[in-house]
Amino acid sequence: MPDLAHRLADRIAAEGPQPLDAVMGEAVAAYYRRERVFGAAGDFVTAPEISQVFGELVGLWFALRWLAEGRPARVLVCECGPGRGTLIADFLRAARSVPGFAEAIALHLVETSPALRDAQAAALAGFPARWHDDLATLPGDAPLYLVANEFLDALPVRQYIRRGGVWRERRVGLGDGGLALVDGPEALPPPDLLAALPAPAEGDVLEHRPAAEAFCADLARRLAAQGGAALIFDYGPAESAYGDSLQAVARHRYAPPLAALGEADLTAHVDFARLAAAARPAAAFGPQPQGHWLLAMGIRERTQQLVAQATPAQAKALASGAARLCEAPAMGRLFKALALLPAGAATPEGFEIR
Ligand code: SAH
C-alpha cells in the first residue's frame, strides 16, 4: 500500500471511516506533488499537451474579449491548475500577436503543487507571474480573465447513497482488500440538488461538489465586481444526474479509485448545470462540446497554417492532435466548454453554434 493509504488506514482504525472529500483532497495533493504525471511517459494526456493550437485559441478568445472591452490597460490573466504550463505558454504566444494585449497582462497562476509551480515557471521562460493557493489572494482591481482546463474535476467531492429509503453519506473505511467506500451516517444532500433530479431508487449514488461550487460562486462575485470573463473546460454531463463518477487513472489506464491513493490521478465528473447555477448572476454560455468550440474558433484553419510550415512528422502530429481534440467519441463530446461572463453580456465567440 502507498504511504498515504497506510496513514489513512491507521487513522480509520483509530477514528473510524473518514469523509470522502477530505480523503480526495489529500490524495490529489499527494499525487500532484510528484513530477511526472502528464504526457506519454506519465499517467494521462490533456488537451494542451495534445496540440499547441488549444492554448493558442484560448489566448485568442481572451484577446477578442480584451478588444471588445476597449483594450483595458491592465487585465489579470489567471489560470487555475496550469499543470506543466503548456496552455499558458501557448496562450501568451498567441497574445503577443495581438498588439498591446501581452503588455496589458498581469499573470496569476493558482497552483498548490511546488513541483508543478517550478515546471510552470520554466514554461513561462521569464514572463512574470504570481502564484496563489486559491482565488482568495487574487487582486481585485482589474478585469479577471480566468481559464481552467481539467481543474474542477480534481476538486474534492462528497457522495451520498440511497439505502432503505434514506440517504447516507459515503465515507472511506476499511474493507477486505484495503480502503473501501462504506455507508456512513444518515445525511441529507443539498435540497436544491435533489430537487433537480427524479425520485431516487435504492442504491442510487448522488455526488455533491462543494469546492467546485464555491469556486464558481467566488468567481461570479469577482466577475460582477471586476469585470472580465472565464472559460472552463472539463468533462461531465451538461445536466445533473445520479451516478458515481469517481475515477482514478495511472499510466493511461483506469484503476480502482481507492487502490493507489496519491499515485493515480483521482477525479470526478463536473456537473455543468450546478456550476452555472452556482455562478449566478453571472451569465453562463454552454456547456457545449469542446470540439464545437474549437471548430468555431478556427482549429482547422490554424492547424493548416502550422502544417504548411511543418516537417512531415510534425504535420502528421498536428493533424492527428486536432482530430483527437474535436472528434467524438474521444475528447470532442465528453469534454465541454463553459463560459462565464458578467450578467447581461452578449454571447461570446465560439458559443454561437450548438
Ligand atoms: N490544466 C492542466 C493540468 C490539469 S491537472 C492541463 O490541462 O494540462 C490539475 C491541475 O490542478 C494540476 O496542476 C494540479 O496540481 C492542480 N490542482 C489540483 N487540485 C488543486 C487545488 N485544490 N488547488 C490548486 N491547484 C490544484
Provide the 8-state DSSP code for 345.
P
Residues 325 and 47 sit within 8 Å (Cβ to Cβ): yes
H or E segment and range at residue 169: strand 166-175
Q: Which atom of ligand 1 is nearest to the CA of 110?
A: 24
In the chain, the domains with their CATH numbers are: 32-156+209-236+271-341 (3.40.50.150)
The pTM is what? 0.96
What's the pLDDT score for residue 39?
A: 72
pLDDT reported for residue 131 = 98
Coil, strand or helix at 283: strand
Three-class SS state of 172: strand
CA gap 31, 255 in Å, rounded: 14
Q: H or E stretch including 34?
A: none
- Please tell me the distance between residue 14's alpha carbon and the centre of ligand 1 in angstroms: 31
Ligand 1 atom closest to residue 25's alpha carbon, by position in its atom list: 22
Report the pLDDT value the prediction gives residue 258, as an integer from 0 to 100.
93
**Whose C-alpha lies nearest to ligand 1, atom 2?**
83
**SS3 assignment for 201-235:** CCCCEEEECHHHHHHHHHHHHHHHHHCEEEEEEEE
Tell me how far the alpha carbon of residue 110 lies from the centroid of ligand 1, in angstroms: 8
CB atoms within 10 A of CB 259: 17
Per-block mean pLDDT, blocks of 10 residues, the chain (354 long): 86 97 96 79 87 97 97 98 97 97 98 96 97 98 98 98 98 92 96 95 97 98 98 94 94 88 93 96 96 95 95 95 84 86 96 74
Distance 35 CA to ligand 1 centre (A): 12
pLDDT score of 2: 65
Pick the atom of ligand 1 nearest to 32's CA: 15
Query: Of 34, 113, 147, 155, which is best to mutate to test ligand 1, by the most ligand atoms within 8 angstroms of its C-beta?
Result: 113
Instruction: Decide: 115 in ligand 1 pocket, CB within 6 A.
Output: no
Q: How many CB atoms lie within 10 A of CB 240?
A: 20
- Name which residue sits closest to atom 25 of ligand 1, judged by CA: 111
Size (the chain), residues: 354
- What pLDDT was estimated at residue 129? 98
* Residue of 112, 152, 215, 233 best suited for mutating to test ligand 1, as the one with most atoms within 8 Å of CB: 112
Read off the DSSP letter of residue 297.
H
111 within ligand 1 shell (Cβ under 6 A): yes
How many Cα atoms within 13 Å fall on the side-chain side of residue 44? 19
Q: Ligand 1: distance of its center to the CA of 118 in Å?
A: 13
- In order of 29, 110, 118, 322, the CA distances from 135 in angstroms are 17, 7, 20, 32
Whether 116 is in the pocket of ligand 1, judged by its Cβ within 6 Å, is yes
Cα separation, 290 vs 288, in Å, equals: 6
Distance CA 43, CA 55 (A): 21
Q: Under DSSP, is residue 198 helix (H, G, I), strand (E, B) or coil?
A: coil
Q: Based on the number of CB atoms within 10 Å of its own CB, is 309 exposed (0-12), middle (13-18) or buried (19 or more)?
A: exposed
Q: Is 82 in the pocket of ligand 1 (CB under 6 A)?
A: yes
List pLDDT tens digits, range 268-307.
999 999 999 999 999 999 999 999 999 999 999 999 999 9
Cβ of 110 less than 6 Å from ligand 1 = yes
